[in-house]
Each structure stands twice: as C-alpha cells, then as structure tokens.
Amino acid sequence: MEWNTEEVLKNLADIVGSQWVKIESDDLNRYGKDWTTNLNPKPSAVVLPASIEETQAIVAFANEREIPLVPSGGRTGLSGGSVAENHELIVAFDRMNKIMGFNAADRLVFCQPGVVTEQLQKFAEEKELFYPVDFASSGSSQLGGNAATNAGGIKVIRYGMTRNWIQGMKVVTGEGKLLDLNRGLTKNATGYDFRHLFIGSEGTLGFIVELTVRLSSFPKDPTVVLLGLNDFAEVTAVLNAFQNKLNLTAFEFFSDKALQYVVDENSLQMPLDSACDFYTLVEFENETSFDLEIAQSTFEYCFNQGWVLDGTISHSASDAKKLWRFREDITASISKYSPYKNDISVRVSMVPAFLKELDELLSQVYPEFETLFFGHVGDGNIHVNILKPSNITIEVFYKKCEEVTGIVFDLVQKFGGSISAEHGIGVLKKPYLCYSRSDEEIIYMKAIKRIFDPNNIMNPGKLIDA
C-alpha cells in the first residue's frame, strides 16, 4: 500500500514538526525492526510524537486515510510484534520518555510510554522503593512495550508480570479516541476493566500513551543459593522445599551446557566443585537473623534427600551479583551462535516431565542441533535456544527451526501450556495461536479488535488477523 505522498508527509509534519517525520533508509531500518533477525523491515516512514495530543492527531489522521500504524518502543521484542514489513507508518515513542510525577502516599509513578524500564527502576531506588519487573533488556526496553506484551522476567515468582504493577493507563484507540483507564485506583468494581485488554494486546487495539505504575518496598538483603542437580525431575521438590520455608523472590534454572557457554565466554570459574547436569538459582529475602540458617538447613535437607549434589550461598551483595551472572549472562554468551529462540510455559508441576519429553524429542528429530534450556522455572517459563551449526547457512537453519517450532508447540499443546510466556505473539507465532487459544477465544479476540480498531490500522497482521 503506497500512502507516503508528499501531502501525507506534510500533514504528519504539521502535527509533530518536520524533523520528527523520518524517511531516510537508516531511520526506517532502525525503527522498523526489533530483536528478531529473520524479518525484513519495510516501513514507509517514521513519526515521533511528543505528547498524547500529537499521538491522537496521528491516529485520527491515519484512521481517515486507512494508513497502517506500527508502534515502536525499545524494539527489544522477539516475536516481530513491532516489525514493519508492509510499508506501514511507524509511530515511535522515544520522545515521550518522561517520568511526569510521583505520589509517595499512593506509591504511584506517572510515566510516558517511552520511559526505559531501567530508568523507572533507578527512579524507584531514589525514592527508597522498588520496581520489581526486571529482565535482560531492562536497559533499553520501554514501559509502553512492556505493558503491550505483559513482560515478565526473573522476579515473577514473587512479584508477578507487568500487569500486576499497572494501576492505570491512558490509551489512544484505533479511532483516535482517548481513554483514561482505572485512574490509579486500587479498588474499582465498576464493570469491565479495559486496562487489562490493552495489557498484552501488542498495539493491536490502540497505543498506550501514559502509565500509572505502582512501586513496592525494596526487598531486604536478597540472598542467593546456587544448587547443582543431576536429575531435573527433582527441581519441583527443591522448589517446594525452599518455597515452604523462605520468602522467595526468584527461582531460575539452567543446564550445564548453558552454564559452560557463560564460563567460557567470560573466563569464569565453575561455581561448584561437583559437575552437575542442571543448576537452580534461588533468591530469597534475608529478613530475619534466622533466614540464613533456614536456607542452609533446607539445602542440607535437599542434599540428604538426594535431590541436590552441591551448592553455594552468597554472603554479600557482591557475592549474589556474581552468582546471578551464571544465569543472566547466558543470552549474551550464546548470541554469536544466532540462537533460534522459543519462549514457552507450562504449569510449574509439569515442567520436569515436559522438559524431559522435549529434550528427548529434539535429540531424536534434530540430533545435529545443540539445544540449551534455561528460564524461570519457578513460574513455569522455559527458554528453548537452538544454536546454529557452523556448517549451514542462516537461511537453512531458520527453515529447519520453523519445523522444530511445530514439534515444540505440539508438545506445549499436549501439556496445556502457552506458546508465548512473556514475549508476545507478534507475527512469528501468529500461525500457532490456536495451540494455546481455542477457536472460540480467537473469535472473541477478533471481535474486540473490531470494536477498538474498526479500520484495522493498529499494528495489522500481528497477534490475530482482523
């Protein structure tokens, strides 16, 4: 669809200023893609509003002309949700990046959508408070995108997803109408809460233009236990043992293969003396003088049960940070191998059986691929990373991995899980939405989109077909 005529571009320039309408190839490539590597951005133009009013004007104008719009935040997505492949107009929120206010009594922060996650985390620390949503892309992801995909991360077991921290939001619908949703209220029993429709909607209903975010008390002395296991089947028993005794803030896992890449890439020492096939990282609040003793006695109990082979515990913040590196540095350490990623979840109790069956299936069908498993086992979220062999091209690799995806999602469906735990559906996973959503649910989703976006201009082709 060709729409970027001189007249249209002039109208957009009248709204935001000519310097904020970009058509140069470098800008189109920069704003037109996210962290997915197998999609080719082909936007027609980029526009950067600085206010709600400018965003409304852009959407109203696009609605009149039926110009397709794609939201662009930190562009850290992994499902192609913010990739513009079909000559769309990109609406980038980089200029709407201010923390506009803070209410100490309510512990509420009022943010524009372009505020970077880490920016809010640091602001909370300055107020001696805590924003708990945290993940590898915190230094570049934006709050609007976090809400649009309901981002999760490493603290979900204690603090939940982004959804749990959005106390209110303003959105511009596909018709250019402004809705002020929930207005920061804690209790509001007045019917449908449209706020939760827009959280996780991936920009398909409208644009998030302001967020009211709740903060929490800072966790007291987060302490880390790193444990080695030889049988992943015991992981839920270890989780239950620690969860029954301590206030956990994280429970992560990674395979020995994943750990080895971190150790080799960063010239680190192995964290434990014993060689183990799997590792779990347990973080808890060291709230009382007895918590450290409880953690040590729980480890001894798990050791005596034969569930764990070895372990170590942090005794300072720097110790904890060093142990976290073994989990957090996995993504960066394997990036040069062009990993094909899948982000899936099942119920926590099913994780060991699911992972065992998945590992056996992939080893049997694609023995030439090295697969790494890691993730947030405390909330059932598993990251499957397939590394590209050096002897095949990236095109051949991705084609084979698409076949792998079908096999993986068949198994996810068998276990009643989700094909996307925290990265959204976007365009890459849209053909597989039926693996996690029933036909009836998808019909209702399409009907909701038609109400908020009758001309199908809001991120068309993503999540669902109109």
Q: Provide the CATH number for the domain around residue 90.
A: 3.30.43.10
The pLDDT of residue 403 is 87
Q: Cα(175)–Cα(404) distance, rounded to whole angstroms?
A: 40
Identify the helix (H) or strand (E) that includes residue 295.
helix 291-304
- The CATH number that applies at residue 298 is 3.30.70.2190
Alpha helix segments (H runs only) across 305-393: 317-328, 330-334, 351-365
Q: How is residue 152 written in tokens?
A: 């999760």
| Range(s) of the domain holding residue 65 | 6-95
Residues in a beta bridge with 178 = 172
Q: Does residue 184 form part of some domain?
A: yes
Question: Tokens 């990993």 appear where?
Answer: 339
The long-range contacts involving 4-13, CB below 8 angstroms and separated by at least 24 positions, are 4/44, 4/45, 4/87, 4/89, 8/65, 8/67, 9/45, 11/61, 12/45, 12/47, 12/58, 12/61, 12/89
- Domain final residue, candidates 331, 363, 385: 331
113 and 210 in a single domain? The answer is: yes
Task: Tell me: do 77 and 107 sit in the same domain.
Answer: no
Six-digit token string for 275: 């060689």
Give a yes or no: residue 107 inside a domain: yes
Chain-centre distance for alpha carbon 317: 26
If asked whether residues 186 and 246 sit together in one domain, one would say no
How far apart are alpha carbons 333 and 261 in whole angstroms?
A: 6
Distance of CA 90 to the CA centre of its chain: 21
Residue 451 lies in a domain: no
For residues 293 and 350, membership in a common domain is answered with: no
- CA–CA separation, 356 and 360 (whole Å): 6
Q: What is the pTM of this model?
A: 0.92
CATH of the domain at 141: 3.30.465.10
Burial of 179 (0-12, 13-18, 19+ CB in 10 A): middle
pLDDT tens for the chain, 466 residues: list them.
567 788 999 999 999 999 999 999 999 999 999 888 778 899 999 999 999 999 999 999 999 999 999 999 999 888 999 999 999 999 999 999 999 999 999 999 999 999 999 999 999 999 999 999 998 889 999 999 999 999 998 999 999 999 999 999 999 999 999 999 999 999 999 999 999 999 999 999 999 999 999 999 999 999 999 999 999 999 999 999 999 999 999 999 999 999 999 999 999 999 999 989 999 999 999 988 799 999 999 999 999 999 999 999 999 999 999 999 999 999 999 999 999 999 999 999 999 999 999 999 999 988 889 999 999 999 999 999 999 999 999 989 988 888 889 889 999 999 999 999 988 999 999 999 999 999 999 999 999 999 999 999 999 999 998 8
Q: How many domains does the chain have?
A: 4
pLDDT at 39 (0 to 100): 85
CA separation for the pair 44, 248 (Å, rounded): 48
**Measuring CA to CA, which residue among 409, 436, 417, 253 is closest to residue 346?**
417
Phi/psi for 165 (5° steps) reads: -115, 0
18: left (phi over 0), alpha (psi -120 to 50) or beta: alpha
Q: Residue 134 carries which DSSP code?
A: -
Do residue 114 and residue 88 come from a single domain?
no
Task: Identify whether residues 126 and 184 lie together within a single domain.
Answer: yes
| DSSP H helical ranges for 368-438 | 394-414
18, 74, 77, 117, 383 from 34: Cα distances, Å? 25, 8, 5, 17, 18
